[in-house]
Every structure is written in structure tokens, then in C-alpha cells.
């Protein structure tokens, strides 16, 4: 299936690592132009950009902490200056930072800043260009939005709010034919996930095996490529009548009967 992304411009936040890296590669493989917006210059190698360009498309990286509103504006301005259009935004950057009920108001606010505000800020600044292109927005949320996890109030609140915004923007943007959807990962091995396993548990290997056992489909984690394929489809006009949806790409982890595992 040709997703018809060739020549179109997609911003992927956190697009050089983990799920974001998978998404950038999937868009580039379909001929889309990828703008990787991420925090630190060291996170994007020239090799990575060259690999994205290998199929004959273009790719570009913009650096800055998206917690700063100015940096979100910079991402949009730089993209438009370079390519003159924006066809889609993938809000993906986020961190499960473990700001729980015991952590206090300051940690809670920091966590919301880390995980939520930039989802809004980027779309706000990109809106005129998305209206022109009849673009598509994909918000990467989490199963935690619906299940909770314990000890991570800020992250859970942000992930839940991302689902609220997905529905809200899908409604608000109907007149412009801009589609808005969310994907909900559950268990995907990424640098963030590895860090969590290694820091939160005495025996990370045992914990990993326990988690994998509970994933109904094939008792394995979802790959970043499987996440990315769903995102690329939602960005593309092959999903042209899909909006306001929450897509769980998780091997049945969230919805299938526990007794199956
Ligand atoms: P990851 O491996 O840590 O990659 C996230 C990327 O986002 C990193 O490059 C990170 O940069 C960047 N980033 C984070 N905060 C940023 C900020 N304020 N400004 C600019 N860049 C920022 O994480 P991941 O596991 O792929 O997660 C991606 C998304 O999926 C997140 O929204 C996460 O909540 C969600 N998710 C993941 C899982 C899972 O199983 N992995 C499950 C549920 C939901 P640095 O390298 O500088 O930190």
C-alpha cells in the first residue's frame, strides 16, 4: 500500500529515539519529509539523518526543550521556512517521570509541563499550516491514561489529557478536514522503558519476563516499528475517514480478558 506521504512534511517530537525513531523511519520509508524535533543535539547523529534521507526524501533536525513555548514556536517557524508547509504533527516526546501523590505539587506541575503543554503548543503554532494542507495530528498517549500505574500522577494526568485533547481537536477541526487521532502504547522496549526497568526494580530481567508473560498476543512486547506503522497509516490519506480515535497497539494488553494470560 502506498501511503502517499511523498513530498509531504511531518514533524515528529522526540523523533530520534524509541517509538519516535520508529515513526521517523516509517515516514521516511514512505517518502515523507521528516522534521525531528528533540531536546539535545547529541540525540541526532548525521548517520540517522542520512538514513532517513536514503530513500530520496529530505530530513531535518531541530533542537530545543519543548517545555519552553518559544522552542515549540521555533520548530514550526523553522519547518515552514525550510519547507513552506506542514502536513502532520506527531506529538510523541514524553517521560514517565514518576511524580506520584507523595512527590508534591511542584513535581506534579513539572511533570505536566514535561508531558502535556507542548502537545498543545505545537498544534497551536502549526494550525494555519495544517488548515492549508488539511493535515493530520497523531498524539502518542499511553495505556496509563486508562489503567493508571501507581506513583505517576503527573504522567497519568498528562496522558489522559492527551486523549481529551484528541477528541476536542477532532471536533474543533472538523470544518478544516484536519484529522486527529491518538495511539496508546503499552509495552515497547525503548531507551525510556529500559531506564525505567533498570532503575525501578531490583531484578529488572525478572520483572521484564513477568510483564511479557501478561501480553496476550504472542507474549512479546510491541515493537517500535509496529507502533510506527499505525502512526504512518493515521497520518496518511489511507485513513481519510478516521478521526477522534484511540488506537491501542499493544497485542491485546489493554482490552483482552486477563484470564487469557
Ligand atoms: P524515549 O525512548 O525516552 O524517547 C523519547 C524522546 O523524546 C527522547 O528523544 C527524548 O529526548 C525526547 N523528549 C522527551 N521530552 C522532551 C522535551 N521536553 N523536549 C524535547 N524532546 C523531548 O521514549 P519512548 O519510550 O519512545 O516514548 C515515546 C512516547 O511513547 C512517550 O510519549 C511515552 O509516554 C509513550 N509511551 C511509551 C511506552 C513504552 O512502552 N515505551 C508506553 C506507553 C507510552 P531525551 O533523549 O533528551 O530525553
pLDDT tens profile 132-149? 999 999 999 999 999 999
Residues in the chain: 261
* pLDDT classification of 192: cutoffs 50, 70, 90: confident
pLDDT higher than 90, residue 121: yes
* Rg, C-alpha atoms of the chain: 18
DSSP 8-class letter at 250: S
CA of 159 from ligand 1 middle (Å) equals 12
Q: Angle at Cα 213 formed by Cα 212 and Cα 214, nearest 5°? A: 90
> Which residue minimizes the CA distance to atom 41 of ligand 1?
188
Closest CA to 152 of 190, 96, 207: 96
Atom of ligand 1 nearest to the CA of 43: 46
* CA distances (Å), origin 177, targets 99, 134, 171: 37, 5, 10
Atom of ligand 1 nearest to the CA of 159: 34
Ligand 1 pocket residue status of 135, Cβ below 6 Å: no
Q: Which set of grid coordinates corresponds to residue 247?
A: 488506537
Cα of 227 vs its chain's centroid, Å: 9
Mean pLDDT throughout 165-183?
99
pLDDT higher than 90, residue 13: yes
pLDDT higher than 90, residue 104: yes
- Percentage of residues of the chain with pLDDT beyond 90: 93
Ligand 1 pocket residue status of 116, Cβ below 6 Å: no
Q: What pLDDT is stored for residue 193 in this prediction?
A: 92
* pLDDT classification of 41: cutoffs 50, 70, 90: confident
| CA pseudo-torsion sign 72, 188, 102, 155 | positive
Mean pLDDT throughout 88-105?
97
Q: Does 41 or 184 have the greater pLDDT score?
A: 184
Q: What pLDDT is stored for residue 40 in this prediction?
A: 87
pLDDT higher than 90, residue 105: yes
Rounded Cα gap, residues 6 and 146, in angstroms: 35
> Is 238 within 8 Å of 1 (Cβ atoms)?
yes
- Find residue 12's DSSP bridge partners: 36, 90
pLDDT higher than 90, residue 20: yes
DSSP 8-class letter at 245: -
> Is 49 within 8 Å of 60 (Cβ atoms)?
yes
Q: Which set of grid coordinates corresponds to residue 196?
A: 525505567
CA of 38 from ligand 1 middle (Å) equals 10
Q: What is the pTM of this model?
A: 0.98
Ligand 1 pocket residue status of 190, Cβ below 6 Å: yes
> Which residue minimizes the CA distance to atom 1 of ligand 1?
192
Closest CA to 11 of 20, 236, 209, 190: 20
CA of 93 from ligand 1 middle (Å) equals 4
Rounded Cα gap, residues 132 and 110, in angstroms: 34
Q: What is the CATH number of domain 9-188+224-260?
A: 3.40.50.720
- Residues tagged active-site: 155
Rounded Cα gap, residues 65 and 63, in angstroms: 7
Ligand 1 pocket residue status of 182, Cβ below 6 Å: no
Mean pLDDT of the chain: 97
pLDDT higher than 90, residue 154: yes
Q: Which set of grid coordinates corresponds to residue 233?
A: 497509516
Q: What pLDDT is stored for residue 44 in this prediction?
A: 87
The DSSP code sequence of 163-221 is HHHHHHHHHHTGGGT-EEEEEE---B--HHHHHHHHHH-SSHHHHHHHHHHT-TTTTSP
Amino acid at each position: 500500500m502506498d501511503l502517499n506521504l511523498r513530498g509531504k512534511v511531518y514533524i515528529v517530537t522526540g523523533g530520534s529515539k524509541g517509538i519516535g525513531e520508529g515513526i521517523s523511519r516509517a515516514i521516511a520509508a514512505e517518502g515523507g519529509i521528516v522534521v525531528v524535533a528533540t531536546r539535545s543535539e547529541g540525540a541526532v547523529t548525521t548517520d540517522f539523518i542520512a538514513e532517513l534521507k536514503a530513500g530520496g526524501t529530505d530530513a531535518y533536525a531541530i533542537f530545543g526543550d519543548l517545555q519552553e513555548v518559544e522552542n515549540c514556536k521555533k520548530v514550526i517557524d523553522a519547518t515552514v521556512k525550510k519547507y513552506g508547509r506542514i502536513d502532520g504533527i506527531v506529538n510523541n516526546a514524553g517521560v514517565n517521570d514518576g511524580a506520584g501523590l507523595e512527590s508534591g505539587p511542584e513535581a506534579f506541575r513539572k511533570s505536566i509541563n514535561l508531558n502535556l503543554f507542548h502537545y498543545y503548543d505545537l498544534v497551536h503554532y502549526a494550525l494555519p499550516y495544517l488548515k492549508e494542507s488539511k493535515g493530520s495530528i497523531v498524539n502518542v498517549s499511553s495505556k496509563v491514561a486508562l489503567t493508571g500505574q501507581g506513583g505517576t500522577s503527573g504522567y497519568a494526568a498528562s496522558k489522559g489529557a492527551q486523549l481529551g485533547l484528541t477528541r476536542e481537536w477532532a471536533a474543533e477541526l472538523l470544518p478544516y478536514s484536519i484529522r486527529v487521532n491518538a495511539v496508546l502504547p503499552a509495552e515497547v522496549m525503548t531507551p525510556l522503558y529500559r531506564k525505567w526497568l533498570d532503575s525501578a526494580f531490583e531484578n529488572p530481567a525478572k520483572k521484564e519476563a513477568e510483564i511479557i508473560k501478561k501480553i496476550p498476543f504472542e507474549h512479546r512486547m510491541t515493537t517500535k516499528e509496529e507502533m510506527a506503522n499505525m502512526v504512518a497509516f493515521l497520518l496518511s490519506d489511507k485513513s481519510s475517514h478516521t478521526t477522534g480515535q484511540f488506537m491501542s497497539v499493544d497485542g491485546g494488553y489493554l482490552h483482552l480478558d486477563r484470564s487469557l494470560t
